[in-house]
């Protein structure tokens, strides 16, 4: 088990630090737990009169390295007036970074782990009929994939 520290960063740059941390077997498990916790935290922010989209959860491992960042604006994207999202997985043998609409989401050592996380986010958006495209870039090539919402839409259909 590894220890992960879940800090809250505000849009203004302020940070609330987690000094205790939580144990998870790996980064992927930590990400799923944080994404689930974000559902409850958005209500805490709203009850205090704060817009949750002004905050992000930054997760550090026990070495102090930020292993991923979950902006509430990404997690609450379904409430935003955007028709589709673009996920980018950029990497090499040194590691793989995930961005959503050019905002950093997470980093992984292996491409497969990064792809699994992105496709999980894409499936969540598809469940709400929100379209996504995925770009995978490495030193040699850029692959483009469209989710089933793009593929199932009739030509000229506005996806919301």
Q: What are phi and psi of 123, to 5 degrees?
A: -60, -35
Nearest alpha-carbon partner for 96 in 139, 144, 38: 139
**pLDDT by residue for the chain (160 residues), tens digit each?**
889 999 998 888 888 999 999 999 988 888 888 888 877 777 777 777 888 878 888 899 989 888 888 887 665 544 434 568 889 999 888 888 888 887 788 888 888 888 988 888 888 888 777 888 899 998 888 899 888 877 665 444 444 4
For residue 4, what are the CA distances in angstroms to 7, 59, 92, 123, 152?
Answer: 10, 6, 24, 26, 39
CA distance 111 to 137: 10
Does 100 lie in the same domain as 135?
yes
- Count of domains forming the chain: 2
Buried b (16+ CB within 10 A) or exposed e, 15-39: eeebeeebebeebbebbeebbeebe
**Which range of residues forms the domain containing residue 25?**
1-76
Segment 126-137, tens digit of pLDDT: 877 788 889 999
60 with 110, same domain?
A: no
107 and 57 in a single domain? The answer is: no
Which of the listed residues 60, 76, 92 is the one where a domain comes to its end?
76
Shared domain for 18 and 4, answered yes or no, is yes
63 and 134 co-located in one domain: no
| Paired sense of beta strands 22-24 and 84-92, if any | unpaired
Q: What pTM was computed for the model?
A: 0.53
Do 50 and 119 reside in the same domain of the chain? no
Which residue, of 56, 76, 96, is where some domain finishes?
A: 76
Q: Which residues contact 145 (CB under 8 A, 6 or more apart)?
A: 133, 134, 135, 136
């Amino acid at each position: 088990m590894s220890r992960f520290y879940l800090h809250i960063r505000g849009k203004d740059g302020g940070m609330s630090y987690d000094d205790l941390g939580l144990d998870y077997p790996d980064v992927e498990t930590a990400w799923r737990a944080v994404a689930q916790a974000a559902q409850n935290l958005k209500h805490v922010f709203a009850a205090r009169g704060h817009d949750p989209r002004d905050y992000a959860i930054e997760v550090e491992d026990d070495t102090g390295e930020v292993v991923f960042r979950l902006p509430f604006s990404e997690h609450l994207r379904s409430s935003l007036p955007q028709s589709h999202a673009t996920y980018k997985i950029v990497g090499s043998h040194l590691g793989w970074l995930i961005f959503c609409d050019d905002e950093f989401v997470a980093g992984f050592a292996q491409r497969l782990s990064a792809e699994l996380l992105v496709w999980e986010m894409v499936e969540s958006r598809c469940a709400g009929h929100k379209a996504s495209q995925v770009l995978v870039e490495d030193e040699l090539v850029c692959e483009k994939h469209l989710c089933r919402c793009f593929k199932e839409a009739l030509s000229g259909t506005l996806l919301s």
